[in-house]
Amino acid sequence: MNMLNQSTLLVRGLVVAFFFSALTCLAADPDISKLPPAATKQGVTYEKDIKPLFENSCLKCHGAERPKSKYRVDSREATIKGGSSDDLAVVVGKSEKSPIVLFSADLVEEMEMPPIDKRDKYPALTRDQIALIRAWIDQGAK
Ligand code: HEC
């Protein structure tokens, strides 16, 4: 094989590798245009507005007793901190980057919360509820 052929092959390989990595990036990026906008309500707090909305949809799996993925939503601190993934569940000030919002809005495949096959018992959050969580996070997750 001469030099020219070798470098052509190398360039082809690089082009293919580039397209594949671009594709995986696209697949992994949640489509945040599908999120409901943050609610306009001011002064949103965990105790008053957010904790009650976890009650039916999240608390059975993410409460004190054997929480799934070691993630608890029964205190403000734990809700923000996240679980065994070691990722923050709430990125304070950035609701569109917060796993809790993206998972609840079904924008991350395999991480839809509540899990899709459990929704007969644990209903999905409504768009209004997700909008309120966004407002809470964007206002500083107080
Ligand atoms: C029926 C049980 C169940 C319910 C209800 C449920 N989850 Fe989960 N959740 C899980 C399981 C199981 C995992 C681990 C999934 C995995 O890592 O593959 C998980 C993981 C998570 C994580 C990742 C935690 C980490 O850092 O590892 C977040 C965030 C989360 N859930 C949020 C929620 C929210 C918000 C709700 C309510 C809207 C909810 N979940 C309702 C079972 C549940």
Looking at the fold, whether 45 and 109 belong to one and the same domain comes out as yes
Ligand 1 proximity of 58 Cβ (cutoff 6 Å): yes
Looking at the fold, whether 48 and 25 belong to one and the same domain comes out as no
Q: What is the pLDDT of residue 131?
A: 98
Domain that holds residue 6: 1-30
Ligand 1 proximity of 90 Cβ (cutoff 6 Å): no
* Residue to substitute in 68, 100, 120 for testing ligand 1 pocket (most ligand atoms within 8 angstroms of CB): 68
Q: What is the pLDDT of residue 24?
A: 57
Looking at the fold, whether 90 and 65 belong to one and the same domain comes out as yes
Looking at the fold, whether 63 and 130 belong to one and the same domain comes out as yes
Which residues, given as ranges, of the chain have pLDDT below 50? none
Ligand 1 proximity of 118 Cβ (cutoff 6 Å): yes
Looking at the fold, whether 25 and 61 belong to one and the same domain comes out as no
CA–CA distance, 137 with 5 (Å, rounded to integer): 55
Q: What is the pLDDT of residue 2?
A: 65
Looking at the fold, whether 132 and 114 belong to one and the same domain comes out as yes
Counted domains in the chain? 2
Q: What is the pLDDT of residue 15?
A: 72
pTM of the full structure: 0.86
Q: What is the pLDDT of residue 41?
A: 98
Looking at the fold, whether 55 and 92 belong to one and the same domain comes out as yes
Looking at the fold, whether 88 and 131 belong to one and the same domain comes out as yes
Closest C-alpha to 125, from 58, 32, 71: 58
